[in-house]
Amino acid sequence: MNIEFLETLNLYMNLPFVQNAIIVAILISLCSSLLGVTLVLKRFSFIGDGLSHVAFGAMAIAMALNFVDKMFLLLPITIISAILLLKSGRKAKMSGDAQIALVSVGALALGYLIINRFSKSANISADVCTTLFGSTSILTLTKTEVNVCIILSVVVVIVYILFYNKIFAVTFDENFAKGIGLNTEFYNLLIAIVIAVIIVLAMNLVGSLLISALIIFPAISAMQICRSFKQVTICAIIYSLVTTILGLMGAIIFDTPVGSTIVVVEIVIFIIFYILGKIKGGIVA
Amino acid sequence: MNGFQISCKNLNLGYDNHVVAKNINFEVNAGDYLCIVGENGSGKSTLVKTLLSLNKPVSGEIIFGDVKRNEIGYLPQQTIIQKDFPASVREIIISGCQKPFKPFYTKNDYKRCEENIERLNITSFVKKSYRDLSGGQQQRVLLARALCATEKMLLLDEPVAGLDPIVTEEMYNIIEKLNREGITIIMISHDIKSALKYANKILHVGPNVFFGSKDEYLKLGHGNLVFSNK
């Protein structure tokens, strides 16, 4: 039985598109874990959720227009939406929550309508399923898309390292940060744009409905057992990498959808972390 | 160096042209201990935000003299987010050293962080996580962070809110010590008794704005007015 598993795994590992998928998956999981803490603590998680639905709508348009490298359309639309959501959320009379609910449900409905009406594909429900749950998209990336993924991931990591201290300050206490002369509006904007990029990246791995899990779970899980911001960040990265790799292997071995398998692994490990946190009271810094 | 640090002239405060407090005039000099008192909703917090340039005044002006806009160390009221924020004490204190366009901390920043840890007696719990600290300890950490940002002026927004009497007394003593070391203190307070005990100047925000020395305030009976209202 075990040998059979290993053989299947070995067989898949030697396929170039699987190797691509693994590289991209590792990069995506690394990026998506970075901003989770900020999102959770700044109560920004709903923006992530709203944006992922916008990305679905954008994907629908890209499919209807028969784009080959869909990311080139997805990226600008999602980034612009991120900026608009952030800007309007502060000024509008309507609460940010309600606005995002409107945008996200609207994008979802419109997206499905567009795919249903204009897609030239033979199997529409499979297309929708792939976009929502990422069932096979990670394996069907074009060479350009793989390269774009790699470049964007590297950019996200560099931006995060350069702004790590600022992000900490803005997350912990925005008023104080503003008081000592930091341009908090700029950092909020930067955070929103990076989230948009991460969402577009992560859509390839888990599909638009499950992206939030990829962003939120590492942070929440790490927060159960870690006591400092640095620890939480490092723990979230490791958690994200391990769960993604386990999920990917699991998906290959058991022939299950990649996105859902990763999320299930994340849930299981989250529960373990939660219990550990309750028992030990966390690792002392 | 005898010039003023902050001077406010005919300041009207509020949000979106809705005025909360009118005709605020005051001046703070180096080494002052100014207490801002007033009823709830009288505009104390709005004044703080305006001093920090988080809010624009509806009209009037704030002139920064011997202290720059970003040289005010701010001790905000705690938010719910902070109560269980996963951060170490050091991470929070050193975040006060941040400056625009400087991505990383310097050796000097670390040194300053350690100095303020000793200065405020944080050493005994410096290894803990912020969310495991008591309310008074958290306030001390935030005060140390403010001291990393400035050596000139501290702006304290209800620094003893929610603290028990013993810790409150400790907090007041720390603030007094810092004031004696030459740091200007501007403190928002509900606690008129302590305000009168420690401050040398009082700004009363409300329908009748008062600004002057503590003695003048007592002479005019404003202090009694507030007491009898409570």
Give the pLDDT confidence of B7-46 residue by residue, as tens digits: 888 888 887 777 888 888 898 998 999 999 888 878 888 8
Task: Tell me: do B225 and B156 sit in the same domain.
Answer: yes
A142-152 residues labelled b (16+ CB within 10 A) or e (exposed)? eeebbebbeeb
At a CB cut-off of 8 Å and minimum separation 6, what does B164 contact?
Answer: B136
**Chain A residues in contact with B56 (beta carbon < 8 A):** none
Q: Using alpha carbons only, give the angle B188, B192, B193 rounded to the nearest 5 degrees.
A: 130
Mean pLDDT computed over A137-155: 86
Region for residue B138 given its phi and psi (left: phi exceeds 0; alpha: psi -120 to 50; beta: otherwise): alpha
Overall domain count for chain B = 2
The single-letter DSSP state of residue A260 is: H
A33 touches A248 (CB < 8 A)? no
Closest residue in A to B97 (Cα–Cα)? A180
**Chain A residues in contact with B131 (beta carbon < 8 A):** 227
pLDDT tens profile B189-216: 888 888 888 899 999 888 888 898 888 8
DSSP helix/strand/coil, B203: strand
* B82: nearest CB among A169, A172, A228: A172
pLDDT tens profile A25-72: 899 999 999 988 888 887 777 778 888 899 989 988 888 888 877 888
Closest residue in A to B16 (Cα–Cα)? A91
- Whole-number mean pLDDT of chain A? 85
Which two structure tokens, joined as six digits, stand for A177? Answer: 């940060």
Which two structure tokens, joined as six digits, stand for A29? Answer: 């999981």
Q: Which residue has the higher pLDDT, A137 or A172?
A: A172
Alpha-carbon span A15 to A21, nearest angstrom = 10
Q: Residue A159: its pLDDT value, please?
A: 95
Q: C-alpha distances in angstroms, A167 versus A154, A156, A227?
A: 18, 13, 17
Q: Residue A284: its pLDDT value, please?
A: 45
Closest residue in A to B132 (Cα–Cα)? A227
Task: Tell me: do B112 and B134 sit in the same domain.
Answer: yes
Q: Which residue has the higher pLDDT, A248 or A43?
A: A248
Q: Which residue has the higher pLDDT, A252 or B144?
A: B144
Q: Which range of residues forms the domain containing residue B109?
A: 88-149
**Chain A residues in contact with B95 (beta carbon < 8 A):** 165, 168-169, 172-173
Query: Is position B191 within any domain?
Result: yes
Task: Tell me: do B210 and B189 sit in the same domain.
Answer: yes
Query: Is position B79 within any domain?
Result: no
Q: Which residue has the higher pLDDT, A88 or B46?
A: B46
Question: At B151, phi and psi to the nearest 5?
Answer: -120, 5
Is the pLDDT assigned to residue A117 strictly greater than 60?
A: yes
Query: Which residues of chain A approach chain B closer than 8 Å at the C-beta?
Result: 37, 41-43, 162-166, 168-169, 172-173, 175-183, 222-223, 226-232, 282, 284-285
Is the pLDDT assigned to residue A102 strictly greater than 70?
A: yes
Rg of the Cα trace of chain A?
A: 19
Domain ranges of chain A: 30-280
Q: A203 to chain B nearest CA, in Å? A: 29
The ipTM of this complex is: 0.86
Query: Is position B182 within any domain?
Result: yes
pTM: 0.87
Q: A220 to chain B nearest CA, in Å? A: 11
Query: Which residues of chain B approach chain A closer than 8 Å at the C-beta?
Result: 49, 52-54, 69-70, 72, 74, 76, 79, 81-82, 85-88, 91-92, 95-96, 98-100, 103-105, 127-129, 131-132, 145-146, 149, 155
Closest residue in A to B126 (Cα–Cα)? A285
Alpha-carbon span B90 to B76, nearest angstrom = 18
Q: Residue A193: its pLDDT value, please?
A: 92
Q: Residue B229: its pLDDT value, please?
A: 41
Which two structure tokens, joined as six digits, stand for B211? Answer: 């600004």
**CATH code of the domain in which B192 resides:** 3.40.50.300
pLDDT tens profile B81-102: 787 789 999 999 999 999 888 8
DSSP helix/strand/coil, B66: coil
CA-based diameter of chain B, in Å? 53
Query: Is position B73 within any domain?
Result: no
Task: Tell me: do B116 and B219 sit in the same domain.
Answer: no
Query: Is position B75 within any domain?
Result: no
Alpha-carbon span A114 to A62, nearest angstrom = 10
Q: How many CB pairs under 8 A join A and B?
A: 96
Query: Is position B52 within any domain?
Result: yes
Query: Is position B82 within any domain?
Result: no
Task: Tell me: do B58 and B160 sit in the same domain.
Answer: yes
- Whole-number mean pLDDT of chain B? 86
Is the pLDDT assigned to residue A93 strictly greater than 70?
A: no
* B85: nearest CB among A41, A179, A182: A41
Task: Tell me: do B133 and B163 sit in the same domain.
Answer: no
* A228: nearest CB among B70, B87, B96: B87
Given the candidates 3.90.550.10, 2.160.20.70, 3.40.630.30, 1.10.3470.10, the CATH classification of the domain at A30-280 is 1.10.3470.10
Alpha-carbon span B35 to B203, nearest angstrom = 6
Mean pLDDT computed over A191-201: 91
